[in-house]
Chains A and B, each alone.
Chain A
Amino acid sequence: MLLMKGALFMSREVKVIINKSGDKEILEFQFSTPIRIEMTSNDPKMIQNAFAAILRELLIDDFSLKFDKEGRSDLFANVAEKYIQHLNSEISTILPDIPKK
């Protein structure tokens, strides 16, 4: 994490896209090992697993998420945009508390 003029800058930016796979809309965080959340599922366990994976990535290095709509403006794009906005804000909140190896 770099500190410049009082602002926080993440050292890496991770792209997030929506992938369509059949009927499923999947939010994909493009880490070296991608993290996926099925947007059409209501299984909290899946999001918990995704959060755990995000946490593991944060333990390696700080990052921010950048959602790429890829031209979409449908419901899922709106949902994903807001979701990633919230997630980004929350990640920046907890960065100082991440245990460093």
Chain B
Amino acid sequence: MKDGRRLFLEPSNPNSVDVFHKHGYRAIFGSDVIDWANYEKSQFGELRFYVDNFTKLIKLVQQDKLLLKDLLNPYFSETVKVFGDSSASKYPFNIPIYHDVNVIFGDKGSGKSEILKSLKEFYSRKLGDQVVYFEAGKEDEWFNEQTKNTDADYLLKNVNVTDDCSSEIKWIKTYKEITPTNLSDYKMYFSKSTNNKAFERMLIKDTPLTNAYDPKLKKYKQLMDEYNIISNFNNTVKTFESFNSLDDTEKNALSSIINKMTLNAFQLSSDEWIVQKTSYLFDDMIEHVIEFASEDISSPVMPTSTKFVEFFRNRLTLRENAIKLLDTMNSNKIEKVSKYIGSLSSKGSLSLWCTYRFFSQDFYDSLRDYEKKKCLKRTMTMTNLKSCLDDLKKIKDKFSESSIGDLLENTKTDFNEKSISSLNDFLLVVKNLRLDGNNYEPSKGEKSILALQCKINEGSASKKSVYLIDEPDLSLGNTYINDIIVPMFRSLGKQKKIIVITTHDGNIAIRTRPLNSILKLTNNNVYKTYTGNMFTDELINIDDNKDILSWKIESIKYLEGGKDAFDERSVVYE
């Protein structure tokens, strides 16, 4: 160290190099590999620049300007004109931007954030959606955005349900009781038609209706479903490896059985269809013959039924629809990880979880207050959904009650009050953050770190090329900065992304090893901008290249709280 410029160190731990750097020394980390059999397990310092010979290495340590210029050149991106409030004399001015970490530091109120805003505009115009912009201090907004439910959350696919039951709900909402045949119709017939002997001899009028026709063709549809399943299986089974492992006799036997089942299923469904259509035609024919005959002799029509079947089927359908809705809504809740949010250092990793479930009072009651506020679809209320659910349960249990009419009126009112038209309206969605699987509500500082990580991770995933980060250190602890933020920016730098960070934090400004440092100063409404880097230890005024400041001195002043504070801390720590 005779010339005061060289330090060759063989520290026990690579972190020591960072300490030296932080104290303004120039250090190179050399590592002795003791056990060459386990060479790959040895730790090595990270070389900021690639030098291919010893002479260059010495020059690098000596901060040779020409060499450093050569080393920095490949990273240079462009000179960007910074704009701001046109009335302020400080604008516009030019700054260099590198494909690496670019740090802006300096006085408060000197226009650091304005530079970022201007860069955002510049790069958005140039690169479109390739820009990630992060502004600290908006962590609550970010948190609310993450846990906010969107229309896409209220889709039935989230609870693995395909039928939204809108037709069942519509049926219930428009339910009308069947009007039975009035006994006066019978009276009318018997009091006026019995005098006509020809009509009396027409025995067809006494033929009972089959009443077997089901307008919904329920049994036929069930048999057709059966046929389709067997038929599809018959086609796909031949592609199964297990089928092809059978010998020919076994294959033929199985095919023969499946073919027979297919034919049987088809026959049964056809027979049922014939029964249904025959019943319909038969009953219709009887009714029309009696009607025509009655008209011919000007006699009242003989009622063909009391309409008890229609009454019963109507009530039964009501019950079945209520049961279908209740059963579907009774499905289990679905919980899934929506996305990885970030790491809270040694505390663990946080992910956003979504819980989807149809409304149930118990589940709703189990939620925390802030979850209750967000979980329902915007237009729904808990009271209304509860009423609807209670109505359906009553319909299921009381479908044979005389008072069903009143109950249905309540149901219609409840369903119409919030225009409930499908099961989507009954969905509850709860989003919360979980730390290694357990519910966790991050503190303000943790929200900041997570918001930043989230932004960077999303940007990385979608391969964004420019990251503009405004004061990421705001309300963050040193642990998070060292463990998470610094490695994150370093990683982006290695990918040759453009990262521009405004900061007051020494760890971010120094430990990210930025190739470009921009110092912003202001004094009595005079604004100055210096650019340079830690490797040359120079910061040059962009308006006067003879005005050169020491990067080290300015860094200590603005990032470490001044030399005295820095020295005092060093003494205390030592």
Residue numbers of A with Cβ under 8 A of B are 27, 37, 39, 41-42, 44, 47-49, 51-56, 59, 75-76, 78-79, 82-83, 85-87, 89-91, 93-94, 97, 99
Cα(A77)–Cα(B58), bound, Å: 124
The contact of A44 among B182, B209, B313, B402, by CB within 8 Å, is B182
Contacts A/B (CB < 8 Å), 5 sampled: A59-B400, A75-B187, A79-B190, A82-B186, A86-B306
Q: Which B residues, 300 to 342, have Cβ-Cβ distances below 8 Å to chain A?
A: 303-306, 308-309, 311-313, 315-316, 319
Whether B208 pairs with A52 at a CB distance below 8 angstroms is: no
Whether B180 pairs with A47 at a CB distance below 8 angstroms is: yes
State whether A56 and B186 are in contact (beta carbons under 8 Å apart), knowing that A86-B208, A90-B211, A97-B316 are contacts in the complex. Answer: no
B476 contacts chain A at the CB level, 8 A cutoff:
no
Interface string of B172-216 (1 = CB under 8 A from A): 000001111011101100110000000000000000111110000
Of listed A54, A75, A86, residue having the most chain B CB within 10 A: A86
A48 CB contacts on chain B under 8 angstroms: 177-180, 311, 402
What residue of chain B has the Cβ atom nearest to residue A83's Cβ?
A: B186
What residue of chain A has the Cβ atom nearest to residue B177's Cβ?
A: A48
Size of interface on B: residues with Cβ below 8 Å to A: 32
B312 CB contacts on chain A under 8 angstroms: 51, 55, 90, 94, 97
Given pairs A56-B401, A93-B212, 12 additional interface contacts (CB within 8 A): A27-B183, A37-B183, A44-B179, A44-B180, A48-B180, A49-B402, A51-B312, A52-B401, A76-B187, A89-B209, A90-B312, A94-B309
Whether B183 pairs with A93 at a CB distance below 8 angstroms is: no
Whether A51 pairs with B187 at a CB distance below 8 angstroms is: no
B404 contacts chain A at the CB level, 8 A cutoff:
yes
State whether A39 and B308 are in contact (beta carbons under 8 Å apart), knowing that A55-B400, A78-B190 are contacts in the complex. Answer: no
B306 CB contacts on chain A under 8 angstroms: 47, 83, 86-87, 90
Cα(A91)–Cα(B313), bound, Å: 11
Whether A93 pairs with B211 at a CB distance below 8 angstroms is: yes
Whether B186 pairs with A53 at a CB distance below 8 angstroms is: no
B186 CB contacts on chain A under 8 angstroms: 79, 82-83
Whether B400 pairs with A52 at a CB distance below 8 angstroms is: yes
The contact of B311 among A27, A51, A86, A93, by CB within 8 Å, is A51
A47 CB contacts on chain B under 8 angstroms: 180, 182-183, 306
A49 CB contacts on chain B under 8 angstroms: 402
Cα(A6)–Cα(B391), bound, Å: 41
B306 to chain A, nearest CB (A): 5
Cα(A82)–Cα(B401), bound, Å: 26
B311 CB contacts on chain A under 8 angstroms: 48, 51, 55
Residue numbers of B with Cβ under 8 A of A are 177-180, 182-184, 186-187, 190-191, 208-212, 303-306, 308-309, 311-313, 315-316, 319, 400-402, 404
State whether A83 and B208 are in contact (beta carbons under 8 Å apart), knowing that A51-B308, A55-B315, A78-B190 are contacts in the complex. Answer: no
Query: Which secondary structure characterizes the binding site on chain A?
Result: helix
A43 to chain B, nearest CB (A): 9
What residue of chain A has the Cβ atom nearest to residue B209's Cβ?
A: A89
B320 to chain A, nearest CB (A): 9
State whether A90 and B308 are in contact (beta carbons under 8 Å apart), knowing that A53-B402, A55-B400, A82-B190 are contacts in the complex. Answer: yes
Whether A42 pairs with B309 at a CB distance below 8 angstroms is: no
A89 to chain B, nearest CB (A): 4
Whether A39 pairs with B180 at a CB distance below 8 angstroms is: no
A96 to chain B, nearest CB (A): 10
Whether B402 pairs with A94 at a CB distance below 8 angstroms is: no
State whether A51 and B180 are in contact (beta carbons under 8 Å apart), knowing that A86-B303, A94-B312 are contacts in the complex. Answer: yes
Cα(A78)–Cα(B186), bound, Å: 9
B183 to chain A, nearest CB (A): 5
A52 to chain B, nearest CB (A): 5
Cα(A75)–Cα(B303), bound, Å: 15
B289 to chain A, nearest CB (A): 17
Cα(A78)–Cα(B188), bound, Å: 11
B316 CB contacts on chain A under 8 angstroms: 97, 99
Q: Which 10 pairs, one residue from A and one from B, show the smallest C-beta to C-beta distance?
A: A93-B211, A47-B180, A49-B402, A55-B400, A79-B186, A90-B308, A89-B208, A52-B402, A56-B400, A90-B309
Whether B400 pairs with A93 at a CB distance below 8 angstroms is: no
Of listed B184, B311, B312, residue having the most chain A CB within 10 A: B312
Cα(A78)–Cα(B304), bound, Å: 15
Cα(A91)–Cα(B306), bound, Å: 10
What residue of chain A has the Cβ atom nearest to residue B316's Cβ?
A: A97
What residue of chain A has the Cβ atom nearest to residue B183's Cβ?
A: A39
A12 to chain B, nearest CB (A): 18
Whether B308 pairs with A87 at a CB distance below 8 angstroms is: yes
Cα(A75)–Cα(B306), bound, Å: 17
A39 to chain B, nearest CB (A): 5
Whether A52 pairs with B404 at a CB distance below 8 angstroms is: yes
B277 to chain A, nearest CB (A): 17
B206 to chain A, nearest CB (A): 9
What residue of chain B has the Cβ atom nearest to residue A78's Cβ?
A: B190
A44 CB contacts on chain B under 8 angstroms: 179-180, 182
Whether A79 pairs with B187 at a CB distance below 8 angstroms is: yes
The contact of B305 among A27, A39, A86, by CB within 8 Å, is A86
Whether B180 pairs with A83 at a CB distance below 8 angstroms is: no
What residue of chain A has the Cβ atom nearest to residue B213's Cβ?
A: A93
B183 CB contacts on chain A under 8 angstroms: 27, 37, 39, 41, 47, 79, 83
State whether A54 and B308 are in contact (beta carbons under 8 Å apart), knowing that A44-B179, A49-B402 are contacts in the complex. Answer: yes
B210 CB contacts on chain A under 8 angstroms: 93
